[in-house]
């Protein structure tokens, strides 16, 4: 019995029967074991690469039908209906339309995140950390949620103490 080792880990066993026990046979079997270890490791790595390609292809196939044109169309028509472009709507219908718009935005974020994940794995998205002022960060958050806040007739008030330290946030850029 000859162990098949990859570095310090045994990944298999080579079991043979022999009538002789020569050093020459053991040397050959050890070399054979080394080659088998390399072949097994290469096959495992190849399998991992193929699964990664399959994952990226699945993400691409999933995100294609959920592209921004589809989202924009659904969002646009729901906003037209909500604005009364084809007639008056009641409160229940308005709530349904708000739910549609909200879900379209969530779906858009999900698709964007999936695409970002694929770009990160492919090395096409560079992630960096940068320091920002709390006021700037807060302004961005308020701006990005303004429509939802207005739709719900809510008000956001912010009070930030002076002299706060800078905070680190993730910034990313597409490598062309």
What is the per-residue pLDDT across 146-166, written as a single tens digit (0 to 9) for each? 888 888 888 888 888 888 777
Give me the count of residues in the chain: 176
pLDDT of residue 146: 82
- pLDDT tops 60 at residue 175: no
pLDDT of residue 47: 80
Q: Would you say 71 and 107 are in contact if contact means Cβ atoms under 8 Å apart? A: yes
Confidence tier at 176 by pLDDT (50, 70, 90): very low
Confidence tier at 60 by pLDDT (50, 70, 90): low
pLDDT of residue 125: 65
Q: What phi and psi, each to the nearest 5 degrees, are found at residue 168? A: -90, 135
Dist CA 21 CA 26 (whole Å):
8
Q: What is the pLDDT of residues 76-124, one digit of tens each?
A: 888 889 888 989 999 889 888 888 888 887 777 777 777 776 676 666 6
Q: What is the pLDDT of residues 3-44, one digit of tens each?
A: 888 888 888 888 877 777 777 778 888 888 888 888 888 888
Pure H helices in the chain: 23-63, 68-82, 91-121, 134-151
Dist CA 43 CA 49 (whole Å):
10
Q: Would you say 159 and 150 are in contact if contact means Cβ atoms under 8 Å apart? A: no
Locus of tokens 């597409």: 174
pLDDT of residue 110: 73
């Amino acid at each position: 019995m000859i162990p098949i080792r990859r570095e310090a880990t045994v990944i298999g066993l080579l079991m043979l029967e022999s009538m002789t026990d020569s050093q020459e046979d053991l040397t050959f079997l050890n070399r054979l074991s080394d080659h088998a270890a390399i072949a097994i490791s290469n096959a495992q790595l190849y399998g991992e690469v193929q699964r990664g390609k399959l994952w990226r292809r699945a993400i691409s196939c999933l995100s294609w039908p959920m592209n921004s044109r589809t989202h924009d169309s659904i969002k646009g028509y729901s906003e037209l209906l909500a604005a009364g472009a084809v007639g008056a709507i009641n409160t229940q219908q308005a709530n349904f339309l708000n739910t549609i718009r909200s879900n379209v935005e969530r779906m858009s974020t999900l698709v964007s995140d999936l695409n970002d994940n694929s770009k990160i794995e492919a090395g096409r998205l560079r992630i960096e950390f940068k320091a920002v002022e709390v006021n700037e960060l807060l302004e961005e958050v308020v701006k990005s949620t303004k429509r939802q806040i207005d739709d719900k007739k809510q008000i956001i008030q912010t009070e930030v103490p002076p002299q706060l330290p800078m905070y680190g946030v993730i910034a990313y850029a597409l490598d062309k």
